A and B are shown apart, each in its own frame.
Chain A
Amino acid sequence: MTEKRTPRRVSRRDILKLGGSGALLALMGGSGLNRLLHNDLRVAAAAPVPRPALQPGSSMDIRLLATDGWMGFPGRRRAAGEGIYSFGFRPVAANETYAKIDKLIQKYKGKVTWPAPILAIPKDIDLYIAMTNLGFVQRPDLDDSHTIHWHGFRNPNSVFDGVPEVSIAVPLGRNFPYYFKPRDEGTYMYHCHFEDVEHVQMGMDGVVYIEANTPGHAYDNDSAISTAFDRQFTFMLNEIYSHAHDNLENVQENLWSDYKADYWVMNGRSYPDTVLRDQELPGSDFDLGGDLYSQPISSLIQTNPGDRVLLRIANLGYEQHAMQIPGIPMTVVGQDASYLGSNYYEATTIYLGPGEARDVLFTAPNYSGPPDGTDGAGPYNRYWFRNRNAQRLINGTESGLGGMLTEVRVYPVGTLGAQTGPNKTF
């Protein structure tokens, strides 16, 4: 937050000063690697490093925008002007992947979403996650840099590991492409590592998973215990220490060793917002104060009887969490993007610490009626996916059930069609 360094800007004069054609080449598109290699523009570029041909379909470009905004929770509604101030990484529309920064600033600055988008990544591709730092509307004084750290990635290059003390950080108004070659399928998470005590709590985190090459499986070569699934849901578990968010919003010093959460959330929402279907979202525009427009990911688990449901659970809170689905036994098949094989285990309670991930499978029980409720998809039997620590089933000082809690809805046979993506609701 106290980052005050003004990055050296490349002026027209700098460019004019360049004599060597190799260095000039380094300024032009297509030779960006030279910029990373020969960072000082006054150093003549060496022979350019040839770029391996990108096979069609083998490359994936993602654009994420770092900015600020407000989140809505029971008792802290945006529409009432009481939203909780947050930072985050938000996605762009597909046709804006290569948009110019000034255009993105105009459109998205101050319109953060949380958690960061679920990234579903095919195996063995060339992946570029370009992160653009748009800056903050509420704290223009806070010219923090940001980074993307892919938490758990094996054998990364340090320049793409996103730790500012040991590599680079992306200042205000700049864009940096993080490059990855995803090799190992499983569930990971990603987050900002710049002043991470603050930026992660403020909301700069999300789930990333690498898909197995075997369609419909969480892991390849899974003969020891099958990881086949019909539906999948990701869960980003967090706590909110709202006092810190309020301090940041109001330019106040915050003591992070006083950490004390008062909201407990999954995918950026606390119950009962967690069970809202995409089709039920109130509001549709930031400027209207639509409360959950900033928290677009539903945590509602909808399934047909007998379906195998995969839960990809990641914890980026600062507390350990004990998750249960009373009435439905769970099988843990993966941990920290590692296939457990014959060490798989059945569990009533999934216990995971900060920075840990689990791949959990369950088979949906039969629909037995009478229904426990009916939604737009039809009548359903309800189970709870909840934090066993009941003190975390609250929303701040509000009365009633809240917190890290959602529902598993089992509908009559054949009610739901095929899932089009993780956490998609019907």
Chain B
Amino acid sequence: METRGKLRDRKYNSARQFLPIAALIGLLIMGMALLAACGGDETETADTAVETEATSAGATDETTEASENAESVDAVQVGLLEPLSGPFADNGKMARLGTEMAVEEINANGGIKSLGGAKIELVIKDTGAAAPAQVANQLQSMIEQNDLSAVIGAWASSYTLAASTVAEQAGVPMVTESFADDITGRGYKYIFKIPASAELMGEEAVAKVLELAEEVGYEITTAAVVADNTSAATVSANAAADRLVARGVDVPVREFFTPGLTEGNSLAIKVLATDPQLIFVQGALSDMALLQNAFKEQGYEGPVLGAGSGFVVHDYGKTVGEAANGAFSSAGWNWDMPGEAAKNFAEQFVAKNPEFDFPGQEAGEDYAAMYIIAQALENAGSADPQAVRDALAEIDITEGPATILASGKVSFDETGMLEDTLPVIIQWQDGKPYTVAPESIASRDPIALGQ
């Protein structure tokens, strides 16, 4: 038995010797963890619980009256692969809420009638903050473990690019709310993309802001571009900078920061030193909140422009506060789209989810995506993914819930792009994003710049 005093004494000494090492180890561990959490490409295994939701809403009244060539199945499985936790959780959750709402409605209305009233069963998987390659594996095992007729996902461009390759090889059609243009440019047959091209959206956003500036006589000669150094943000920031330069605007600062800022003042000092009349910002919500407030405090009154992501998160207005007012962004969808269907959806969504005062971008996109898939199943009369894919390629919807999209109708071109899509340009006004361009779908006039 060691004596009490000596025990303490000895351990105490070793503890002292160990301290700086422990502190350094700790610092390094934390540093690595931070990088892992923030660097978009880093690996962090997320909980990959597969939740299966058999939505059993009401018994089917219209009993099986299947056409001859149609199979009769009890349920059709559709996958939903979204970032439900991690940095994009807000976006992923919106996607889930929209999709689930569509599934409930479809099932309550008698399911897929050509399949004998088959119910849609959602197979949900959380990508977490995993690396893109892992997301591909997640989809692979989802496909192996279930009989998916189609899949919706996977929000982030990098995730979608990786996952769509798996979907293509497995022959399962994938409908995505992702922006990136490369997704449809690869000759894939099984990918269908809801939002307008990122190129188009970026172009339209810059054009709109410059046009508006000209209208009110606000001269934009210098702009600054600030984004976090994750690949998605870097790409859209560089694209915006190039567009501005192409229009004769000087962009002396392109600043890429590591996500997880602890303060915004120093970046604001640097950016505002170039005296910009327009600032493009892209990054996670918390970082944008710090930056935009710092810009504002240091006297910047010009417009702020973003490209989706954090700018269309429901909480953006609340989190960024007053500095959010007037911020422009492109979006894949907005809650104030014209038409009855969109109005109904927005109202019902808020009634169902009272914690939100409007449905977010992904909720609308994936609500429509689910209806598009349901229609394809209906048309195909089969749960076979190949048949669903063919039906999707041929689909032509002009009425019903799927028309809440900006295009107001649904059909895909041979690359899988939604035809006649419009780039939605929103501006935050009084805590909500309003569509301000293009004119055909705008619900409000933009607030003038420099105010």
Chains A and B form a bound pair = no
Contacts from B to A (Cβ < 8 Å)? none
* A contact set with B: CB distance below 8 Å: none
